[in-house]
Amino acid sequence: MIPASLQLLTRDARLLFLTRFTRLFAYGLISVILVFYLVGVGLSDSQTGLLLTLTLVGDTVISLLLTTQADRVGRRSMLIIGALLMTAAGLAFAFTKSFTWLLIAGIIGVISPSGNEVGPFLSIEQAALSHLVTAQTRTGVFAWYTLAGSFATALGALAGGLLSHSLQRTTASPVGGYRAVILLYSALGMLLVFIFLRVSPEAEVTPAEGGSTGGTFARIFGLHASRRVVAKLSALFALDAFAGGFVVQSFAAYWFYLRFRVNPATLGVIFFWANVLSGISALLASRLAARIGLIRTMVVTHLPSNFLLLLVPLMPNLPLAIAVLLARFSISQMDVPTRQSYTMAVVAREERSAAAGITGVARTIGSAISPVFAGFLFARPALINLPFYIAGSLKIVYDLLLYRSFVAQIPPEERV
């Protein structure tokens, strides 16, 4: 049965759901094989960690440039540029083995080593969706939007693992199977371009709404009335993302390989179910938020998932490690639609793209730093469990600080 919040979606909103699904399928596709591919073409573990970090740094710069101008210049135009950069990055990664050229492609292009959102897409789409739905249905729509992405990531991870594993049997080099997956990623980037071209002007903010009175700062960053709340949220989101960067999906998959010698096809199955469970958990978030509020839902669901993250490396065998990982994913995404909805609720309507973009950039910066340290730790067999302990501990600190800082700042719809 289709919920009422989805039955009322406009054509543009449905197109944004489709772009979300297509993009996250592409991200999931390469998430389980990217580290294998980079190591296969000759990069060391430390170089791979550095490349992933600088890739995320480049995504951050691109995201900041595009999202802060999207409400003024045009949301659709910025989304198309992002899709073209995604296509270019995939082609470059597929056709070069040079660390220098891979670095340039990773910094300039848009590529996701984690299976999660990178680039300008999520922020601009959130702002557009908030523009196209009511405040009362926003959290529910964001929950289904999150589910669409999680399910797409799951399918992509499964497809990437199975496709690369099957192609390795028919190619002279194992790298050939991984390269085919990356070329498919690039093709999906071009598909995104064509879908974004069909989005109508209804998804744009009107000139009257987009006018800002904040002077030079507002013109550059797109913020005026929401500056303080966005600054506080950005700092906290950066901490959470920094912690998560130690266990991005590519490194988590690599950990299972190092610890239990799991092959890519099996890893694809594991992360397929992990992402399916995380997507389903997002649906429960909107109902819980309606009862206890957005901030409380974010904290109450995020804390247990972080304790489970701490337990993963303590498991003595593969089945138990998988069970704890899946348990963690089953509640790990309940804070995502609530976090997105809360951000859209407490900032000015005409500053939503910029607010989502800046908080998203803060998350990307946080997650960009930690893979360098993760790569260093994974290069040393005795330290491969440490990233899980660091990530879980820092995420618990984030939850406590978030609750303390924002529990008293209630969104308008919750006051009603």
pLDDT tens per residue across span 198-232 = 998 888 876 544 444 455 445 546 666 778 888 89
Nearest to 28 by CA among 113, 121, 125: 113
Predicted pLDDT of residue 212: 47
pLDDT digits (tens, 9 = 90+) for 302-358: 899 999 999 999 999 999 999 999 999 888 778 888 888 888 888 877 777 778 888
Q: Following DSSP, what letter does each residue of 277-289 receive, concatenated?
A: HHHHHHHHHHHHH
Predicted pLDDT of residue 239: 94
Predicted pLDDT of residue 253: 84
Q: What is the mean pLDDT of the chain?
A: 84
The structural domains of the chain, ordered by start, are 9-200+222-415 (1.20.1250.20)
Predicted pLDDT of residue 207: 52
Low-confidence ranges of the chain (pLDDT < 50): 208-213, 216-217, 220
Predicted pLDDT of residue 18: 95
Predicted pLDDT of residue 214: 52
Does this model's pTM top 0.85? My answer is no
Predicted pLDDT of residue 8: 67
CB atoms within 10 A of CB 165: 18
